């Protein structure tokens, strides 16, 4: 049911909770960088994002009387300005919401859709071989119908109190006035420089004067401010059926290559694809774990099903009373098992049945736990299970399936909780860092490359492949926005960027908080590893230094990777306090804030955070 409408007054700044001080020193003559605070405890509402400006915008909405959905949309619009290589109106995402008044968890499915002209062979060359992945990314062929604008409108209509124009006000102001470039933004631009130079409007916008933006410089995007202004004045109809829709289609069908750049493949998107787009409400996934209720996103996201199955499998083992190495061994093995089933069974349920109920059943989890030897790592990839409703002790298995996706390491996640207990956990993306690399001329945003999340070709032609392209289909995603309740009361929410590592990041964070009694900040910051049913485990240097040798004795084989994920979360503490937590270092660190900070509470966060869940 739509909420009461609230007029949002202008808010110049908050008196407490965030970003009053300048951040790290900038080069001489440069603007000071906003401070990134990974932990805040207080009252009135909490916001955690990867970016201090976006967190500030969300907190301003809460301070002015908006609720969690209002603040989430406002913060997401701000991220479209400051995190344009990870999110924006050219992409999509998944929105999970808890309504404190009704106790209901709902989700909005804002995943991009394939054009109606796209068939199963779309990413094959003339000889029937899969296209080179980078070639597919940097093309109009990779662009699906964006879902983010309609997701914002649906979130406000269903759960919010603000109009779209009010929710976009902070993002418009930020795009007009600009933000201070930090090292992460410059590095991400540098990593995408070659791709960006292929497309004239992208190079013009993100390589000002033909060069990388300098740290400490102010980056403005007046084109995006105008696009937001159009959405505010005319609604999202202008995006899906109006002049913006025409511009998007023209850009996809005839990508604007720079002079002298190699021609890229045109896309299949047509105006009818945008006009027919919907961002529907979906029922969430739910599992009960250690006495808590864990809600996530249903297919075509594989986040809720795979995190949920992983938790169900891990519940068969007493993780709270074993050594840290043993707990991590079980986490890695359960991740492999859950990924085997994800890869075999999960896709867009409108195109092939997904046995979601069985994948999340206790019987299936008990059977799948048979694949885990507490003293030895299984040879990878492990076989998929058989979710047929007939479960017994250690049965035969379906064919093995390693992670066949090629999801990029980009995406961003924001988490909001308001004083009334409403929660928004929202993961949004344009897929790869920098998306397709194609900017809509004079519109200020990059188009997604989400269609490269489809499986280009079936690994085994004789076995069903749930994630091949098809007309209007939504590609499988790993986005895992998650909300945890305790006997129906709000407890915590978490999510992360990172492609298919999102799932293991969220799972490891939940295990750390629920089973290992880490506080939420510690669980987010903990050294990380990801096992996606592949021969080797990707692990961060700190993880290898702390646990690599002992886990290797158990048979785990590692490949080092610089960093995995960049989670954010919020938690409801006793006595009406809220805790906002963000990544302290990964991706340059995140930003957590509360409307009214409680003096000294952040420093005592570990003592304030109680044990949660039944003994593991």
Q: What one-character-per-residue DSSP string does 294-357 give?
A: EEEPPTTBSHHHHHHHHHHHHTTS-GGGS-HHHHHHHHHHHHHHHHHHHHHH-S-TTTS---HH
Residues 6+ apart with CB under 8 A from 544: 558, 560
Contact 578, 47 (CB under 8 A): no
Reported in sequence order, the residue ranges of 419-460 that DSSP labels E, i.e. its strands, are: 423-429
β-pair partners for 257: 199
Contact 578, 415 (CB under 8 A): no
CA separation for the pair 610, 606 (Å, rounded): 8
Positions annotated as catalytic residues are 411
What is the enclosing helix (H) or strand (E) of 288? strand 285-289
In total, the chain counts a number of residues equal to 616
Coil, helix or strand at residue 142: helix
Reported in sequence order, the residue ranges of 448-589 that DSSP labels E, i.e. its strands, are: 482-486, 489-495, 529-530, 537-539, 558-560, 568-572, 578-582
Contact 249, 274 (CB under 8 A): yes
β-pair partners for 538: 530, 559
Structure tokens belonging to residue 43 = 């009252």
Buried b / exposed e across 366-376, counting CB within 10 Å, b at 16+?
A: bbbbbbbeeee
Nearest to 92 by CA among 412, 308, 370: 412
DSSP 8-state code for residue 110: E
Structure tokens belonging to residue 119 = 């068939």
């Amino acid at each position: 049911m739509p909420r009461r409408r609230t007029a949002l007054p202008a808010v110049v700044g908050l008196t407490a909770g965030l970003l009053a001080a300048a951040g790290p020193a900038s080069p001489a003559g440069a603007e000071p960088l906003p401070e990134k605070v990974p932990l805040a405890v207080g009252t009135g509402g909490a916001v955690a994002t990867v970016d201090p400006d976006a967190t500030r915008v969300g907190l301003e909405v809460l301070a002015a009387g908006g609720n969690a959905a209002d603040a989430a949309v406002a913060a997401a619009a701000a991220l479209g300005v400051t995190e344009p290589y990870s999110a924006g109106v050219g992409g999509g995402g998944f929105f999970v919401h808890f309504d404190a008044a009704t106790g209901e968890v709902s989700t909005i499915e804002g995943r991009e859709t394939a054009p109606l002209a796209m068939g199963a062979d779309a990413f094959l060359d003339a000889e029937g071989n899969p296209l080179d992945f980078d070639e597919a990314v940097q093309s109009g062929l990779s662009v699906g119908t964006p879902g983010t604008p309609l997701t914002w409108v649906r979130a406000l209509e269903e759960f919010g109190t603000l109009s779209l124009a009010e929710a976009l006000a902070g993002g418009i102001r930020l795009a007009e006035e600009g933000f201070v470039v930090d090292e992460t933004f410059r590095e991400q631009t540098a990593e995408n420089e070659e791709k960006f130079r292929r497309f004239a409007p992208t190079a013009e916008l993100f390589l000002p004067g033909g060069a990388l933006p300098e740290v400490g410089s102010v980056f403005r995007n007046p084109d995006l401010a105008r696009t937001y202004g159009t959405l505010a004045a005319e609604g999202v109809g202008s995006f899906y059926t109006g002049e913006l829709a025409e511009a998007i289609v023209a850009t996809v069908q005839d990508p604007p290559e720079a002079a002298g750049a190699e021609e890229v493949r045109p896309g299949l998107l047509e105006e009818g694809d945008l006009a027919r787009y919907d961002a529907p409400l979906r029922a969430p996934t739910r599992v009960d774990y250690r006495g808590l209720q864990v809600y996530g996103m249903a297919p075509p996201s594989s986040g809720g099903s795979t995190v949920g199955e992983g938790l169900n499998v891990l519940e068969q083992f007493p993780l709270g009373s074993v050594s840290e190495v043993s707990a991590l061994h079980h986490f890695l093995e359960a991740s492999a098992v859950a990924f085997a089933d994800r890869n075999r069974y999960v896709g867009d349920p409108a195109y092939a049945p997904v046995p979601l109920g069985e994948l999340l059943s206790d019987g299936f989890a008990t059977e799948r736990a048979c694949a885990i030897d507490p003293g030895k790592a299984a040879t990878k990839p492990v076989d998929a299970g058989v979710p047929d409703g007939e479960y017994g002790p250690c049965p035969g298995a379906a064919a093995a399936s390693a992670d066949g996706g090629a999801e990029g390491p980009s995406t961003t996640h924001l988490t909001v909780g308001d004083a009334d207990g409403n929660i928004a956990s929202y993961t949004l993306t344009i897929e790869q860092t920098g998306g397709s690399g194609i900017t809509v001329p004079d519109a200020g945003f990059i188009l997604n490359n989400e269609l490269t999340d489809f499986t280009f070709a079936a690994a085994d032609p004789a076995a069903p492949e749930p994630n091949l392209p098809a007309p209007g289909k939504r590609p499988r995603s790993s986005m895992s926005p998650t909300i945890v309740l305790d006997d129906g009361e709000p407890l915590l929410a978490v999510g992360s960027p990172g492609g298919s590592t999102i799932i293991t990041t969220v799972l490891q964070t939940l295990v750390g908080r629920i089973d290992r009694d880490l506080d939420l900040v510690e669980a987010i910051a903990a050294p990380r590893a990801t096992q996606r049913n592949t021969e080797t485990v990707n692990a961060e240097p700190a993880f290898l230094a702390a646990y690599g040798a002992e886990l290797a004795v158990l048979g785990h084989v590692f490949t080092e990777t610089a960093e995995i994920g960049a989670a954010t979360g919020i938690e409801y503490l006793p006595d009406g306090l809220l805790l906002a937590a963000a990544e302290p270092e990964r991706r340059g660190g995140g930003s957590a804030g509360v409307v009214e900070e409680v003096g000294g509470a952040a420093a005592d966060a570990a003592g304030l955070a109680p044990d949660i869940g039944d003994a593991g």
